[in-house]
Amino acid sequence: MTTAVQATLTDQTIATDMLLTSKCSVKGLAAAITEAATPQVRTLLKQDLDTAIAFQEKLSAYMQSKGWYNAFNVKQQLQTDLQNAKTVLSL
């Protein structure tokens, strides 16, 4: 049986992993666009980049609404990270 803290931590961990992955995808697609050999490939990659950016924005907004991600308040984000670390260590 899981507790509310464990369930929240699991959701937060999954969302954080997805956010980090989406940021890597955006960076990778941007780099790939600069290396594309044809306009058709660049167009396809740009479409994928737009989709990846939109996903990252939605996920960031969701995480901010849950208090899991404080993109505009570094101090608060550090406090959130510290609390998450303490929670993980206590499990």
| 37-84 per-position pLDDT tens digit | 999 999 999 999 999 999 999 999 999 999 889 988 999 989 988 887
CA-wise closest residue to 64 among 73, 53, 51, 55: 73
Counting the structural domains of the chain, the total is 1
Q: Are 32 and 46 in contact (CB under 8 A)?
A: no
How far from chain centre, in Å, is Cα 89? 23
Domain of residue 40 covers 4-90
- CA dihedral 10→59→25→12, nearest 10 degrees, is -10
Record the tokens describing residue 52, joined without a space. Answer: 């990846």
- C-alpha closest to that of 69 among 4, 5, 17, 2: 17
pTM above 0.85, yes or no: no
